[in-house]
Each structure stands twice: as structure tokens, then as C-alpha cells.
Amino acid sequence: MKLGVVGLPNVGKSTLFNAITQTSNAQAANFPFCTIEPNTGMVMVPDKRLDRLTEMYHPKKTTPTTVEFVDIAGLVKGASHGEGLGNKFLSHIREVDAIVHVVRCFDDDNIIRADCSSDPVSDIETVNLELIFADLETVQRRRDKAARQKNGGDKSAAREAELCERMIAHLSEGKPGRTLPVDADEKAIVASWFLLTTKPVIYAANIAEEDLGKPEDQVKDLDKVKAIAAAEGAEVLVISAAIEEEISQMDAEEKAEFLEELGIGSSGMERMITACYHLLGLISFLTCGEDECRAWTITRGTKAPQAAGKIHTDFERGFIRAEIVPFETLSSLGSMAACKEKGLVRSEGKDYVMQDGDVVLFRFNV
């Protein structure tokens, strides 16, 4: 999973990136465009289930799944026409699976802004419109190509040309491509266009330190961000980049105590990854043994042979069956042997749809 962290200059984007990746790769300074080239950082996905399996098996190695975060240069109005770092910004967004759009929901006279704005609604509109303008150009080119092919008698091109017209009308109303109603076949066509506004979005509402833990209706402008997200089918994550920066410097014990004092239970990074998994329809299954305990990420709805293929292509090619026990059952009974004695290890075939938290041993023959 590759997540692009975007936003207007000086909304706390690079500070948040450094905090969640626990690096100092991204320069966080009080002037526009301190980020020019994208910075990347790999983050291990926290999974208490994997921690429990490690306690049970004492493996030589524990391997969590990972998420790649990309800190993308701040955008300004006119980016779709090359203003600021526009073309670079847009090309880097095309490479990510989902967008984490950071917006500032607090006032601070000491923070320099490229456009002097402190309104998250205006910030969101600026970024979204630039992505929409870029997508309009893409879809218009596809329409012209499809129209030429349609005139040559290509029936599939006629359908694509009609879909292009609908998408152009939709984008022209200022609506992102992901909100256009499409059927399964049309969805596949739209996916082939690689549009920016069809990517899933999480709005990271960067709030003031003193607002963290307050009732959300008391946080400046948060209701406005939530309203926009609801209309777009996006998600909202309430986070304080300054607090995340503090947390990133703490050891595990200090971090747990600090989060408990704040009354938020988990760090913003953990909540962000959970939100992104939900947004992208991802789940994890687990494998365990004396050599390694490991978490594997798959798309919800993946069948057992394809899940096996995530481990090795031979596992999918020679798939026989999957021996599965839910994590909660294994954790409760303490061993796979105990689960087998009670008849709780299931043997599943090629049509089995994997579930989040399945602990699995794949049987295969090649």
C-alpha cells in the first residue's frame, strides 16, 4: 500500500510525514515549497495479533506488513497548468494507491501561507479543483481517441466515448471522478484512465494541540471538513501533527502513558493505517511457526489460492487446501495442536474467501 501525503504549503504535511515515518527525511520549515522532491518512508503496520503470535511461538523472525508513505510537494492554485511544482505534484500523485490530504483546522499567525488562507474548505477546493482540471484534460483526450475509433465501427469505443462525456460533465460540475455512478464494466473502463480524482481520499484534519481530546463539535472547522468528506465518500482522520511529532520521540512505555493521558487510545499513525485499510478494502491474514510469524495484506474478497500466491506463486499454482483457524481461537487455546484436538482447525478449498485475522497453513503440491 502506497499513500501520498498532500496538501497546500505549510499545513503541517511534512511535519506529519516525519512523525508517522519516524524520520527527518522531509524538511519541515515555515516557508512555502520547502518540499520539492517527494520523500518516502516505510512504516510497519502495528498488529497486536502478530505480537501475540510472537509471544506464543518465539519465532526467529517476526515480519509485519508495511505501508509506504510519500510526502508530496505542496500544491498551489494553477498546478494543473504548471504553476508552482504543479506537473511534478500531479505525476507523483498518479503513483499512489490513496491520498492523505492534510488540511489545517486551527489559526496560527506565525505560520506563513502561500495564499494567506486559513480556511480548510478553501484549501480542499484548491487541491480538488487542480486534480479535477488535470483529469478533465485526460478524459477529453480519451474521448477524442474513442470518437475516432467509434467512427471506425468499434462498438466498445462507442461505449467509452459515451462514458467520457458523462465523466466530463461530472468533473465540470466540480465533482471528483470517484463519485460518478458507474456499473462494473464502466468501473473497469474508468480505472484504465488512471484518473487522480478516482483515488480514495482521507482528509487528515490537523488540529491544534490543545484541541486534541475535545468533543469534535468544539474543534474549529472540523464540521466543514466532515461535510465535504461525506459528500465525496471520503474519510476524515482527526490528528495533531505537533502531538504526533512528540509521540514519535517516545519509547513504547512513554507513548502508551501519554496516549492514555490524552484519552485517544492510539497514535494518529495507527488510526491512519486502520482508516486506509478500510478505505482500500484491505485485510490481513497471518502465518506462524518457529521460523517466522508474519502478517500478509490482501484485498477483502480474496480467495484462498490467491492469498497463498501472496506468499509464493508455487503455493497458488499447486494449491491443495488451506488449514485455517481464527486468530481469537488460536490465541485463546494457546496452540495449533490444541485447536486441532478440539476440531477447530478447518480445511478449506479453492472457493474459500479469506477473512481478516485468519491464521493459515497452505498445503500445496507442484
Residue 34 pLDDT exceeds 50:
no
**pLDDT value at residue 289:** 93
How many contiguous H segments (helices) and E segments (strands) does the chain have? 14, 12
Residue 255 pLDDT exceeds 60:
yes
The better pLDDT of the pair 328, 118 is held by 328
**pLDDT value at residue 91:** 79
Which pLDDT band, with edges at 50, 70 and 90, does 116 fall under? very low
Kindly provide the b/e burial profile for residues 225-254, where b requires at least 16 CB atoms within 10 angstroms of the residue's own CB. Answer: bbebbeebebbbbbbbbbbbbebbeeeeee
The better pLDDT of the pair 19, 312 is held by 312
Burial class (CB in 10 A: 0-12, 13-18, 19+), 56: middle
What pLDDT digit, counting tens, does each position of 151-198 carry? 877 788 999 999 999 999 999 999 999 999 999 999 999 999 999 999
**pLDDT value at residue 88:** 63
Per-residue pLDDT, averaged over 52-79, amounts to: 84
Cα–Cα separations (whole angstroms), residue 69 to 97, 132, 143, 149, 214: 10, 23, 33, 40, 28
Per-residue pLDDT, averaged over 245-250, amounts to: 87
Which pLDDT band, with edges at 50, 70 and 90, does 26 fall under? very low
Mean pLDDT score of the chain:
86
Residue 86 pLDDT exceeds 70:
no
Asked whether the beta carbons of 123 and 7 are under 8 A apart, the reply is: yes
What pLDDT digit, counting tens, does each position of 275-298 carry? 888 888 999 999 999 999 999 999
Tell me, what DSSP letter sits at residue 240? Answer: -
What pLDDT digit, counting tens, does each position of 89-115 carry? 677 888 899 999 999 988 765 554 555
| Cell numbers that stand for 37 in this block | 522532491
**pLDDT value at residue 32:** 41
Residue 273 pLDDT exceeds 60:
yes
What pLDDT digit, counting tens, does each position of 302-311 carry? 999 999 999 9
| pTM, rounded to two decimals | 0.81
The better pLDDT of the pair 82, 32 is held by 82
Per-residue pLDDT, averaged over 2-6, amounts to: 90
Which pLDDT band, with edges at 50, 70 and 90, does 31 fall under? very low
Residue 339 pLDDT exceeds 80:
yes
**pLDDT value at residue 16:** 87
Backbone angles phi, psi at 143, to 5 degrees: -60, -45
Per-residue pLDDT, averaged over 326-355, amounts to: 96
**pLDDT value at residue 29:** 41
Per-residue pLDDT, averaged over 209-221, amounts to: 85
